Amino acid sequence: MSSAHGLIARGVPPQPLWLLYIKIAILVLSLILLAMGAWAVSIFSGGWYGYSGGAGGMVIFVTIFSFLVYGGAAAVELWAQHLFYRIAFFIGYILSIIFWLSAWAWSASSASVWLGYSWKGTEGHKEGQALAVCAGLGAVVWILTIVHLAFFIQASLADPQGAPASQAELGNVKHNEVPPAGQQYPQQPYPAQQQYTQQPYATQ
């Protein structure tokens, strides 16, 4: 039975392995977008034409935030499952969705302006191209974050208990996997040695 208590429990909820691959895809795309955002900011570095970062700076901020949230979540899930506080990462996932929506929408709007009012080969056109890439890839990351959040909520609601105290202390090791101390194992008795009667030798 699902319960809202699963979102505030501690411990990694049982979830399919491909959700980890979604985290990896988000991190890889974030790395690419970090480079594209830095390129967009560097085109007009120094505040030329009154430009001081804009959408490119927003993309850089969101990618760094994603590194912290999804990279940290993946690390905790793999190496410290008993320290996985679901509510903390749940809030981080929601903020990531909001930030990515703002980043790619702003990038798309700015790209349309730069590409619409600048000549090819100019700095304005290059700025529009960089922001267009940020908008396209940012929309893909935004969709991935939504999919990840939906299945994370589903897995958490299906596991309202979370990690028990024994798992929290022993690093997600179940007590029934450890044999009790002093356990006696029944010893199988050896079969009694068969007695052979010595036959007398025939006298010659």
Residue 141: band (very low, low, confident or very high) from pLDDT cuts 50, 70, 90 = very high
The residue segments making up the domain with residue 136 are: 22-44+54-171
Number of domains in the chain: 1
pLDDT confidence bin for 176, thresholds 50/70/90? very low
In the predicted structure, residue 99 carries a pLDDT above the cut 50: yes
Q: What is the pLDDT of residues 84-98, one digit of tens each?
A: 999 999 999 999 999
Is 114 within a domain? yes
Distance between CA atoms of 101 and 104, rounded to whole angstroms?
6
- pLDDT on residue 24: 94
Please compute the mean of the pLDDT values over residues 165-176 and round it to a whole number: 39
Residue 198 lies in a domain: no
Task: Compute φ and ψ for 10, nearest 5 degrees.
Answer: -110, 145
What pLDDT sits at residue 192? 52
Q: Give which of 103, 28, 26 is closest to 58, Cα–Cα.
A: 103
Q: What is the pLDDT of residues 10-58, one digit of tens each?
A: 889 988 889 989 999 999 999 999 999 999 888 876 555 545 568 999 9
- Whether 36 maps to a domain, the answer reads yes
**In this model, does residue 167 exceed pLDDT 50?**
no
Model confidence, pTM: 0.74
Q: Mean pLDDT over residues 95-118, rounded?
A: 93
Q: How many residues does the chain have?
A: 204
Give the number of C-alpha atoms closer than 13 A to the C-alpha of residue 124, restricted to the C-beta side.
12
Q: CA separation (Å) from 48 to 23, 53, 132? A: 37, 10, 20
Whether 137 maps to a domain, the answer reads yes
Only one residue has tokens 């609601």, namely 157
Does 187 map to a domain?
no
Both tokens of 27, joined, read 């991190």
Residue 179 falls inside a structural domain: no
In a domain, 197, yes or no: no
Whether 86 is in a domain gets the answer yes
